[in-house]
A and B are shown apart, each in its own frame.
Chain A
Amino acid sequence: MKRSLFILLLILILIPFKTLALIEVDITRGNLNPLPIAVSPLSIDENSRKNFEKILQKENIGSEISSVVEKNLKTSGLFNPLNKDAFLQAPDIANLKPRFEDWNLIKAQALITGKVNFVEEKLRVEFRLWDVLAGKEMMALAFTTVPNNWRRVGHIITDKVYERLTGEKGYFDTRIIYVAEEGPKTRRIKKLAIMDQDGANNKFLTLGNELVLTPRFNPTSQMVTYLSYFRNLPRVYLLDIETGMQEVVGDFPGMTFAPRFSPDGKKIIMSFAKDGNSDIYTMDLENRIVEKITNHPSIDTSPSFSPDGKYICFNSDRSGYQQIYIMNSDGSNVKRISFGKGLYGTPVWSPRGDLIAFTKLHKGKFYIGVMRTDGSGERLLTENFYQEAPSWSPNGRVLIFYRETETDDKGEGFSAKLWSIDLTGYNERLVDTPTDASDPSWSSLLSN
């Protein structure tokens, strides 16, 4: 009796949502028909416009924010933002009550409207998402923040729209840390750099005096772990992005490399190489206790925790060649999971827990692919001359990685760039960076 009442209640709760959600975007398949969406510029009154122009040097911050949203939606590959020239309704009127026939006429299925205000030195933004076919409001939210955060407001709006229409969390209010590269291939200068997910606000974090590699975000804070050749001693370091404080991780008498955080952000897992043998270690950042996880004469490297922290996937050549293995987080129960043709490297566990992304080398070509955690269902997403090091978007739907070009017969024309691709294998895109770039790592959502 109680149970059926519960189910009835559940149905009552679900029904109104179900009838509202006429538009749905399926992100589990390659989306060849992105959803037509109209992003009406956020309306702004003249007084607010002038105030923001003074503070931010942007003529119309309302339009700027909606441009951020529009670009995000387009880049996702799931949405097709429509040309603003075709919009019939003025932004301020549309935000009050859209004339759905007008939006239907230009084939928009969803509509975003909104308003920007200058309130006590702050930026107040409200926005609404409309289902054009059903003629209904799907969502209405308002934020207040410091004016300088205006791009983040655009990203948060995109995250909310993405979540409402796909049923999954977005990945737009995030940052990418990566290695910026310059100079000839034989003497590359490398710096740590960070930027917003859409390439804005690029900032260099090191000067390039020493070689730096493989930065990775802490999933729970603004800390980064990376490899630095400071004083020609390759060691794993910790860097606080906010304060710029750096420290070496542990006291190892040799090279430490391939660092990553545990999902709770409390440990670093990495390789330590000594006497020609690389094994995997963890270090607890609170009590500094170091544990040896693998103990094998082969190369064991590129470790990555499962999101529940119970397992570790890693790269080992104990079979003779590079393959992917998983084990319990204490190092017990080691199992090889990659059995396809070729060499496998850089396994990295999806934040959803169900997949492991990897790099594969087969017959002189490099692939980025995914497999289930037992090694079944291997799927190669992209093939190239050289590419490696996938990193997951926080919702586990997109991978970012880097590609290097083949040089010509004079050894010239080398470049390294960041690329992203959907888990579906569609929507492959160059990620713009001011310099050459490699070793990308995607942050968690900055806001939730």
Chain B
Amino acid sequence: MKKLRIRNIDQGAIMKLNKILKNTFLIAVACLALSACATSKKSTGQMQGDVYTGTDTVEYLASGVPDRVFFATNESVLTTASRETLRKQAAWLRKNSDITIVLEGHADERGTREYNLALGERRANAAKDYLMTYGISSNRISVLSYGKERPVDSGSNPLAWSKNRRSVTVKAN
């Protein structure tokens, strides 16, 4: 039993390591960008891994209810912070039961257009599934992928790309 658990941990670590290796380039660039920015703009701490953790682009559906969640490169897995945001959205939606929403899924510009359309759809659906597990009916939610067509930040750097990998909850009525 103990051994099994250790193996699990090891595998997790190995998977993480793999991911780190795969993202080495991006992270290296991110580090460069961040250290370059650190002196001028103080934007350090706006990314964890390559997931955006800042609030520059975030708008609010209601007081304390952020409208968007962010993703790692090529990923549609919800981070701990994303799940917290979506729980707040679910609570707000339960309180305002007449509101319907569109989940707009987006990708950064570093992918092919067609794959990014699919990826945006997958990200918006990750958010939708989570809202549904917190009691929001699927007929109040529609999903719309924009792929890489509607970036919020026009920059060509890892921080800009991290802001653009997102699912935004938009009031539909």
Q: Do A276 and B114 form a contact, CB below 8 Å, given A185-B154, A414-B154?
A: no
In the assembled complex, which residues on chain B have CB atoms less than 8 Å from the CB atom of A62?
Answer: none
B61 part of interface (Cβ distance < 8 Å): no
A330 part of interface (Cβ distance < 8 Å): no
Set A214, A232, A364, A385: member contacting B144, Cβ < 8 A? A232
Q: Are A359 and B112 in contact (CB under 8 A)?
A: yes
In the assembled complex, which residues on chain A have CB atoms less than 8 Å from the CB atom of B154?
Answer: 184-186, 407, 411-412, 414
B50 part of interface (Cβ distance < 8 Å): no
Contact with A along B121-143 (1 / 0, CB 8 A): 11011100100000000000001
List residues 82-131 of chain B with CB under 8 A from any CB of chain A. 109-115, 117-119, 121-122, 124-126, 129
Q: Are A255 and B145 in contact (CB under 8 A)?
A: yes
| A-B contacts, CB under 8 A, total | 109
Set B110, B113, B118: member contacting A439, Cβ < 8 A? B113
In angstroms, Cα B110 to Cα A12, docked, is 58
In angstroms, Cα B122 to Cα A388, docked, is 22
- Nearest Cβ on chain A to B56's Cβ, whole angstroms: 13
Measured CB to CB, the nearest residue on chain B to A271 is B118
Measured CB to CB, the nearest residue on chain B to A360 is B112
Among B118, B121, B156, max chain A CB count under 10 A is at B118
In angstroms, Cα B78 to Cα A276, docked, is 13
Q: Are B115 and A273 in contact (CB under 8 A)?
A: no
B153 part of interface (Cβ distance < 8 Å): yes
Set B115, B151, B153, B156: member contacting A301, Cβ < 8 A? B115
Measured CB to CB, the nearest residue on chain A to B129 is A276
B26 part of interface (Cβ distance < 8 Å): yes
Q: Are B125 and A271 in contact (CB under 8 A)?
A: no
Q: Are B25 and A363 in contact (CB under 8 A)?
A: yes
Contact with B along A209-252 (1 / 0, CB 8 A): 00101100000000000010000101000000000000000000
In angstroms, Cα B6 to Cα A157, docked, is 74
In angstroms, Cα B110 to Cα A364, docked, is 8
List residues 127-162 of chain A with CB under 8 A from any CB of chain B. none
In the assembled complex, which residues on chain A have CB atoms less than 8 Å from the CB atom of B117?
Answer: 213, 227, 234, 255, 257-258, 273, 301
In the assembled complex, which residues on chain A have CB atoms less than 8 Å from the CB atom of B26?
Answer: 364
A436 part of interface (Cβ distance < 8 Å): no
In the assembled complex, which residues on chain B have CB atoms less than 8 Å from the CB atom of A204?
Answer: none
Q: Are B153 and A255 in contact (CB under 8 A)?
A: no
B42 part of interface (Cβ distance < 8 Å): no
Q: Are B122 and A299 in contact (CB under 8 A)?
A: yes
In angstroms, Cα B144 to Cα A301, docked, is 17
Measured CB to CB, the nearest residue on chain A to B28 is A364
Set A275, A346, A359: member contacting B125, Cβ < 8 A? A275
Q: Are B112 and A302 in contact (CB under 8 A)?
A: yes
B155 part of interface (Cβ distance < 8 Å): yes
A406 part of interface (Cβ distance < 8 Å): yes
In angstroms, Cα B121 to Cα A277, docked, is 8
Q: Are A346 and B160 in contact (CB under 8 A)?
A: no
Q: Are B144 and A388 in contact (CB under 8 A)?
A: no
Q: Are B114 and A346 in contact (CB under 8 A)?
A: yes
B16 part of interface (Cβ distance < 8 Å): no
- Nearest Cβ on chain B to A268's Cβ, whole angstroms: 14
Measured CB to CB, the nearest residue on chain A to B41 is A409
Q: Are A345 and B126 in contact (CB under 8 A)?
A: no
- Nearest Cβ on chain B to A246's Cβ, whole angstroms: 20
In the assembled complex, which residues on chain B have CB atoms less than 8 Å from the CB atom of A388?
Answer: 112-113
B150 part of interface (Cβ distance < 8 Å): yes
Among A211, A232, A299, A388, max chain B CB count under 10 A is at A299
B81 part of interface (Cβ distance < 8 Å): no
In the assembled complex, which residues on chain B have CB atoms less than 8 Å from the CB atom of A345?
Answer: 111-112, 114-115
In the assembled complex, which residues on chain B have CB atoms less than 8 Å from the CB atom of A275?
Answer: 125
A322 part of interface (Cβ distance < 8 Å): yes
In the assembled complex, which residues on chain A have CB atoms less than 8 Å from the CB atom of B110?
Answer: 361, 364, 386
In the assembled complex, which residues on chain B have CB atoms less than 8 Å from the CB atom of A364?
Answer: 25-26, 29, 110
Q: Are B151 and A185 in contact (CB under 8 A)?
A: yes
- Nearest Cβ on chain B to A188's Cβ, whole angstroms: 7
Q: Are A273 and B121 in contact (CB under 8 A)?
A: yes
B53 part of interface (Cβ distance < 8 Å): no
Contact with B along A402-414 (1 / 0, CB 8 A): 0010110101101
Q: Are B74 and A186 in contact (CB under 8 A)?
A: no
30 example contacts (A-B, Cβ-Cβ < 8 A) are as follows A185-B151, A185-B154, A187-B150, A214-B114, A234-B144, A254-B143, A257-B114, A258-B114, A258-B117, A271-B114, A273-B117, A273-B122, A275-B125, A276-B122, A276-B124, A276-B126, A299-B118, A301-B115, A302-B115, A315-B112, A315-B114, A322-B112, A345-B115, A346-B112, A359-B112, A364-B110, A409-B155, A411-B156, A414-B154, A439-B113
Which A-B residue pairs are the 9 nearest by beta carbons? Answer: A276-B125, A345-B112, A411-B154, A185-B154, A278-B118, A258-B114, A299-B118, A406-B156, A273-B121
Could you list which residues of chain A lie within 8 angstroms of chain B, going by C-beta atoms? Answer: 184-188, 211, 213-214, 227, 232, 234, 254-255, 257-258, 271, 273, 275-278, 299, 301-302, 315, 317, 321-322, 343, 345-346, 359, 361, 363-364, 385-386, 388-389, 404, 406-407, 409, 411-412, 414, 439
